[in-house]
Every structure is written in structure tokens, then in C-alpha cells.
Amino acid sequence: MTASKPGSGDNKMSQALKPYSSYKTAKMPWLDQIPSHWDEKRAKYFFREVDERSQTGEEELLSVSHKTGITPRSEKNVTMFKAESYVGSKLCKPGDIVINTMWAWMAALGVSNHAGIVSPAYGVYRPLEEGAYSRLFLDNLLRTRSFVSEYICRSTGIRSSRLRLYPDQFLRIPFVYPPKEEQGIIEKYLRAKTTQIAKFIKAKRKLIALLNEQKQAIINQAVTRGLDANVRLKPSGVDYLGDIPEHWEVRRLKYLVNNVNNQTATKAPDEKYIALEHVESWTGAICYPDGDISFESLVKQFTPDDVLFGKLRPYLAKVAFPKCRGVCVGEFLVFRCHDEKLIPCFLENKLRSFSIIDLVNSSTYGAKMPRADWTFIGNLFFSYPDKSEQQQIVDGIKEKTSKLNAAIASLQNEIDLIREYRTRLISDVVTGKLDVRGIEVEEVDASEVLGDHDEAEENTFTEEAEEAEEDLSDND
């Protein structure tokens, strides 16, 4: 078994890794085998559950995420669910394992590097021997697919979204334990390698951002001035519209579309479900969730000709045109053209233009979780040509952005592949499938250690869902 280098040139730490010389059968079936000189004992021999409570609620509030592990809530955008008081919250210390009991099956857990407080519903586990485990080694071990499989197997609940990993079951999980010195070698290797990969991803993300800016410039020009660069213009009479093609009309949006609010508590088998995290910013690409979907609040219905506009954090430009029947979360406004002069695909592109997004974003309320208001959006003046030209504009946008889209897709594929490589590499190293002893690595300054911050931002809404579940579990 070898680990290939992810486009890293002659870096010595990218040399091929090999398995250990000898192995023994692992107690955990998902691992199959571990190096012969590694130990393996149940978690109860390494950790104990602690239940220390805050008397003031004034300690650093920590968030537990399946993407970013244990981080101060102040460093995140997850602020939707705030308690009036955090007195009685569980205390944790650096080195403690913190587990979101209801989201362990998604690896919403980790080793804390911070002292602070977490939900009373969380599990906090403290090492019996301080320093027995390298924090980085342990944090990565807890997130491997083998361990996640174990969490799922040992969790109880009537459906996947309600599975809970209770302390007695967590403490029965077999933990691998390499010698302390070897853990340090593994930590040093992973710190250097993951930082290298994060830099690679950051560079690709910058290229994607530049290409998306070019795309949005094309779209903005097309939906505000049309495709003819020589078209004669006229004053629109509206400051934020400026000059527009002389044959275009101007009307308030509320006279062109209806804000549809048909709510339901159920989803038909042939309907799609869309939440904010399923729509890609600025592109409108939709990634429909797999499997059975359940929701505990009312959702909105939409039809094939409806356009969805994300009103939460409108600067993310979550505008989508599903072209199917379905239901969506209430954070979407559902727009339906009621004037025959407007076609949905033009409406979609227009709503995602710089000018519209900037205007809507300037009107939001709520400093931490800004939301747009239909009253403001509906009163915006909207410029448009006839239906025939609208379709020409939409077709022109597709043609002019096709190469950019292909380049973005290629870069995103590179990012996906390197993330998968990173996941597999970490898993293979911390479970003993690959031996990093003897691999030369460069020292990485703590200030240089990078995280996949863009990924964390993209999954903000998923993290908010985890926080919502946390609040629900507090009341159980």
C-alpha cells in the first residue's frame, strides 16, 4: 500500500509510504488489523466521563461540528440558537473528548484544544492519564470512517437523525494506542501534510473565485444591458438601475412575480427537498440530498417554474431554479412569475446578478444572521426586455460562461480528489495501515497550520442544524 504525492513536487514527505512489517488482528472489526507493537484497549481504560457544570455560564462557549471539530463559537457564524443563560453547561478542558451525542454518527465530535463550556446534552470524556494521547493523533483517529462506523453501530434511536451515542457504549469502543513517541511522529507528519494540502486547496479556491467573478460580470452585463454592446440606452429614472436599453421596461418586482407561501408538513415521493446547504452560492447548482428526508417544521411547496431565493445571508446568492416539484425550507422565498412578460430562467439570472444581490443585502436585518424581507425585494424596480430577448440573453449567458464553467468544474474536481486523498491518508496513518516512521517532514509553525476554512463556511447551515439538534436535546 502506498500514498501517492498530491502534486507536491519533490517534497520528501510525499515519498511512497509502506505498511508496517507485521500486524495482528484488531478487536474492532472495521479496522481488520493493526501493527503488532500497537496496543488496543477499550476507551474506558483511557478515558472517563466527566460532568462538571458551569456556575456562571461565562466561560468560552464552544461549538462541536462534524467539519471543524471543537472550536470557539465566537469564531463561527453559528449564532442562530443562543440560550438566555449558559449556567449548568458542561465544562471541558484542553485534551477532553467532546461528543455531540445526537450527531456522533456524523462525526460531530473531537478533542478540544480549548477550555470552555458545551451543551449539557454532550458527552465529555477526560484522559485518565494526561498526555497519554497526542491530541492531533486522537482527534484524527476519532474522525476516521472506521470509528464513525463504530459510533453508528453503537448508537440507539428510531431513525438515523435521532441516533444517540451514550457514554456506556462509547467507553466500550476499542481504541488503538501506538507508543507515545510514535504518536508524536505521526502528529508531526500529519500536521505538515495537511497544511500542505490546505495550501493546495486554498490556491485552487482562489482560482475558482476569480473565474466566478468573470462569470458574474458576464451575467450582470447581460441582465442589465443585454447582449448588444452597441444598444442605445435611456435613463431608467431609478438611481440603482442607471441607464438601461431604450426598449426595456421597468416595473416593481411584486407586479411581475408572486411570493408563494404554500406550506406543508409532508413531502410526496416524487418531490425534491431543498435546504440552503443544498444550493451552491452564485451558481444555483443544486445537490439534492439522498435517502429519506424528515423535517419537524412546515416547509414550502414549489413547482417546476418557480425560482427560489435564499433570504438568509443573501450575500451568498443562493438563488436556484429547480425545474421540478418539491418542498424547501422556510429560509427560501418562492417566486412565481404571474406576468406573461417574464420567463423564470431570466428571473433566476437577474436575481443572482451583482446589482440585485447588493441591493437586497443592504436591506437585511439581524447583524449575526442577516435576512432579507419580501416587502423590500418586492418593491425593487426590475428592468427587462421582451420574452424573446430574455431567452436570447439566457442562451447567450450559457454560451459565454460554458468554458468558465468547465474550468471551475475541473478545479473543483481537483479539490474533491485531494480532499478524498487527505481523508484516506489520515485514516491509513492513524490506524496503522501506513508507517510514517523515517519519513522526513518539515517543521510547521503553529501559526502556519491551515484549515479547510472554505469548506467550513460552505457547511455553515449544516452546522446550524447540529446546533438546533443540540438545543432540542437540551430539552429532552
Cα separation, 422 vs 418, in Å, equals 6
**Residue-wise pLDDT tens digits, 286-325:** 999 987 787 778 999 999 999 999 999 999 999 999 999 9
List of domains in the chain: 12-203+432-474 (3.90.220.20), 227-384 (3.90.220.20)
373 near 333, Cβ under 8 Å?
A: no
Residue 456 has pLDDT above 70, yes or no: no
Q: What's the CA gap between 19 and 21, in Å, rounded? A: 6
pLDDT digits (tens, 9 = 90+) for 115-165: 999 999 999 999 999 999 999 999 999 999 999 999 999 999 876 667 899
Half-sphere exposure for 362 (CA within 13 Å, toward CB): 8
Phi first, then psi: give them for residue 434, nearest 5 degrees: -130, 140
Indicate the pLDDT class of residue 9, thresholds 50, 70 and 90.
Answer: very low
For 194-252, the pLDDT digits (tens) are 999 999 999 999 999 999 999 999 999 999 999 999 999 999 999 999 999 999 999 99
pTM for the structure as a whole: 0.82
Q: What is the pLDDT of residue 161?
A: 62
Q: What does the alpha-carbon distance between residue 188 and residue 192 come to, in Å, rounded to a whole number? A: 6
User: What's the angle, vertex CA 459, arms to CA 400 and CA 213, rounded to 5?
Assistant: 25
- Give the strand order in the sheet containing 272-274: 263-264, 299-302, 326-328, 272-274
In angstroms, rounded to a whole number, what is the distance separating the alpha carbons of residues 170 and 125? 10
Residue from 346, 340, 333 nearest 383 by CA: 346
- Among all chains, which residue has been given the C-alpha cell 436585518? 365
> How high is the pLDDT of residue 340?
84
Q: Is the Cβ–Cβ distance between 309 and 364 less than 8 Å?
A: no
The predicted-structure confidence for 49-83, as pLDDT tens digits, reads as follows 999 999 999 999 999 988 889 999 887 655 445 66
Radius of gyration of the chain (CA): 26
Give the DSSP per-residue string, 82-135: --S--TTPEEE-TT-EEE-GGGGGGT-EEE-SS-EEE-TTSEEEEESSTTSS-H
User: CA–CA separation, 218 vs 239, rounded Å?
Assistant: 22
Q: Rounded to whole angstroms, how far apart are CA atoms 291 and 273?
A: 11
pLDDT at 258 over 90: yes
